[in-house]
A and B are shown apart, each in its own frame.
Chain A
Amino acid sequence: DAMVIQNPRYQVTQFGKPVTLSCSQTLNHNVMYWYQQKSSQAPKLLFHYYDKDFNNEADTPDNFQSRRPNTSFCFLDIRSPGLGDAAMYLCATSRARGGSETQYFGPGTRLLVL
């Protein structure tokens, strides 16, 4: 089945220790998104790629970086995780950016920072 896959589902890291979350998709979608979602809050868009074109949200901390080496894979790097970065990280894809294009989400990676 075509889908969005995130690994790992749960990630524990130490304060200040770099961590990488991964996302892959078999939908062949052009756009990939990374969201941060904290409990009972709206998903917060961190950045997105339209093909290889990287788009960073203005309020995304410099601590967060992303890489998209090819159409199928996208990575979220947190260079120095703080306690406030503990959250669910959601990867999503869409065929394009406009109109009725639906975003399809992966199962998420829950990050715990000790």
Chain B
Amino acid sequence: GQNIDQPTEMTATEGAIVQINCTYQTSGFNGLFWYQQHAGEAPTFLSYNVLDGLEEKGRFSSFLSRSKGYSYLLLKELQMKDSASYLCAVRDSNYQLIWGAGTKLIIKP
């Protein structure tokens, strides 16, 4: 079967750095997405990785290792507004998006 694993919940301090990990086992691989979802709202696109390495976009960076079936989302200079769930999703060989359940990130002052 296909599976995406992420920690259920993480806590971090305002101004700090946090890394949210995602491991996947899918039928083929055609890219990995990270989405942010605030409580009661729709997911919004953060990043896309299809090649190994680090993609940096402002305070957010996303890393991919295809050989390890592993990605992480790195959030720097955390702000209170970063409190949200972060969903990892992988596009498989049928171009379907396989979603993780999300990691709820709690930011404390």
List chain A positions with a Cβ less than 8 A from chain B.
40-45, 88, 90, 97-100, 102-108, 110
A-B pairs with CB below 8 Å: how many? 49
List chain B positions with a Cβ less than 8 A from chain A.
4, 8, 30-31, 33, 40-45, 48, 50, 85, 87, 91, 95-97, 99-102, 104
Which of B30, B41, B48, B102 meets A102, CB within 8 Å? B48
**CA A108 – CA B44 in complex, angstroms?**
12
Q: A42-B99, A45-B97 are known contacts. Are A102 and B104 too (CB-CB below 8 A)?
A: no
Whether B42 and A90, one on each chain, are in contact in the complex, defined by CB atoms closer than 8 angstroms, is yes
| Smallest beta-carbon distance A105→chain B, Å | 4
Whether B31 and A107, one on each chain, are in contact in the complex, defined by CB atoms closer than 8 angstroms, is no
**CA A45 – CA B85 in complex, angstroms?**
19
